[in-house]
Chains A and B, each alone.
Chain A
Amino acid sequence: MRRSSLKPGTATNKKASMSEAMLMPHVFFGVACIMAALWVFVDALNASASNAARIRLVSRAAAAFMWVAFLAGGYWYVVFYPADKALILKGPLPMAHAYFMETKEHLVITLLMLVTYLPVAASNNLAANKDARRLVLWVSGIIPLLGLMIEGHGAIIAMGVKLALLAKQV
């Protein structure tokens, strides 16, 4: 699909708009999940009775954001990505699919389980239990690292599509 050939109101244009509309919540909630996990990490460093409820609330929010990002991204991957995949594989950066998308689509499952586990770990009394606090610090610390890595993969996949479209126009 050549973006330059898109005409307002056409079926192709509507499909492209729908694709972008599904990608925006995927990225937005993915970043929100990373921010929430970072918040939990910082709050857990200073865990006390006064911030215990907030830690639990934000850890649940991180899990909710991740599930929304995952469902939006999963829907986009199954419905819209095959067209982009075909483009990428014919373009100058096939690795954007062969390595980056393949890795991303499977590492994200680990991230989903990790973020789902965060509220479980945060349900302990972190103010009184330093072992539980250490566990929450590890879990909430890995989430932004893995999340940023996966966000970076997404950027390279988008670059693969862009390069493929540019190569078609030349």
Chain B
Amino acid sequence: MENNNLSKYTVSFGLALAIGSVANALLVVAKEKSRAIQSGMQKLTGSHWITHVVLVLILFFGIGFLFQNLKSASCIAMPANRLVRIILGGIVTGGAVIIGYYLLAD
């Protein structure tokens, strides 16, 4: 028998993946545009890239566990097609911003 419900973890971490991908790209632009942000990130761990990775991963796991712990499962329940579109949208947007920035703006 077909059961087309996605688990809570699947939806919550799928949303976290999309948000994390876009946040990753926005952080790239922010640190490349602002020397203050980049040097602040550099001071935190000794490397702006390590800080970048840590921040994005905290966001990814933080949002994933936050959405997963929502009391009402219906808050984040959605069909797989919509989740796929959100994930693809996040990855393509994030990728395009990063590639576009280093190709054109930098």
Q: Which one, B4, B49, B60, B95, contacts A78 given CB within 8 A?
A: B49
Say whether A110 contacts B95, CB under 8 Å: yes
User: CB-defined interface of A122-139 with B at 8 Å, one 1/0 digit per residue?
Assistant: 011100111110110011
Contact with B along A19-55 (1 / 0, CB 8 A): 0000000000000000000000000000000000000
Are B24 and A110 in touch, CB under 8 angstroms? yes
* List of B residues within 8 angstroms of A80 by Cβ: none
Interface of A is mostly: helix
Determine whether the beta carbon of B98 is less than 8 Å from that of A74: no
How many chain A residues touch the partner (CB < 8 A)? Answer: 33
Q: Are A138 and B84 also in contact (CB < 8 A) when A98-B106, A124-B10 are?
A: yes
Cβ of B1 < 8 Å from any Cβ of A? Answer: yes
**Number of interchain pairs (Cβ within 8 Å):** 100
> How many interface residues does chain B have, given as a range?
35 or more
Is the pair B20, A129 in contact by a Cβ cutoff of 8 Å? Answer: no
- Bound Cα distance A165, B31 (Å): 31
Q: A128-B1, A132-B6, A134-B84 are in contact. Are A109 and B17 (CB under 8 A)?
A: no
A105 at the interface (CB under 8 A from B): yes
| Interface: A7 (CB within 8 A) | no
**Contact residues of B between 63 and 91, Cβ < 8 Å to A:** 79-81, 83-84, 87-88, 91
* Interface-lining segment among A8-16, A56-64, A113-121, A155-163: A113-121
| Whole-angstrom CA separation of A131 from B2 in the bound complex | 10
Mark contacts of B1-38 with chain A using CB atoms, 8 A cut-off: 1 yes-contact digit, 0 otherwise: 11111110110011011001100110010000000000
Residues on B lying within 8 angstroms of A by beta carbon are 1-7, 9-10, 13-14, 16-17, 20-21, 24-25, 28, 47, 49-50, 52-53, 56-57, 60, 79-81, 83-84, 87-88, 91, 94-95, 98-99, 102-103, 106
